[in-house]
Amino acid sequence: MQLTPLKTLALAALMAGIGPVLVRQSPVGPAATAFWRLAIALPFALWTGWFALAMPKRDVALGMISGALLAADLIFWNNAILRTSIMEATVLVMTFPLIVAVGEIWIFGRRLSAKLILGGLVALAGTVVIASGKAPGNHDLLGDAMALAAAGFYAGSLLISAQLCRRNEASGVTFWVILGAAVGTLPFALVEPILLPRTLTDLAYLSFYGFITYGAYALYNSALSKLPTTLVAISGYGQPVIATSLAALLLNEIPSATSFVGALIIVAGLVLATKS
């Protein structure tokens, strides 16, 4: 079945929303988790994007740079999730659509529709409502700062990837971005006390996370080749809703009524943004 660009984007956001819960329960350290999920995703990316080897050298280099920025995002974000609550870490990292929108307007000179901008602002308001409530789990200022730094790195990676996907096959771009991210996370993984999975169960867990990682990035890059970068970024506001729901079901981090209202506002903003 052929997915429309918007359905592809929705599926990507759903798969990405699983990430925070998988990081929290990972059998290895946060940087090692980032490395293994990417390293395991690489064979899938090469299998579907083997023609990445034929991309222009300049685009290959840009893909690796995008991957390096993604690596920095993952390192900061994974540590933020372990330091603060899943809700706070996910909401704070979701400021990246604002950075992407500014980049599209001021760097690339693109005009964004009123509905798209309004939908993004409504979704942002929902994240503010969520953050204003008493989020369950731990609270840590350094963890919050790490989540905000991750937002900046991810926005840069997304802006570069979007340009590459519009002049190359998205699956080829996915391979170089994942490779660059895997190389970028490896040095940090090597200094952690728990680098290798200790049991077959641990390996299966990381393999599942790697497959989810590949699926999310492949779908996001496919959407980037057809949709406005800011719209793809705004879809990320759905991740706090997904991550918080899974955290409530699996980790007993029950959201407050305020968080529930914020989630509804986010959904309304996403609906409005996609109308554009």
pLDDT single digits (tens) 216-273: 999 999 999 888 888 888 887 877 777 777 767 766 766 677 777 888 888 888 888 8
Residue 76 CA: distances (Å) to CA of 30, 132, 232, 245, 254: 9, 23, 22, 23, 25
Task: Please give the Cα distance from 226 to 127 (Å, whole number).
Answer: 27
What's the pLDDT at 1? 54
pLDDT single digits (tens) 163-216: 999 999 999 999 999 999 999 999 999 998 888 899 999 999 999 999 999 999
pLDDT single digits (tens) 110-167: 777 788 888 888 888 887 787 666 555 566 788 888 888 999 999 999 999 999 999 9
Domain residues of the chain, as ranges?
Answer: 23-274
Centroid of chain to Cα 84: 18
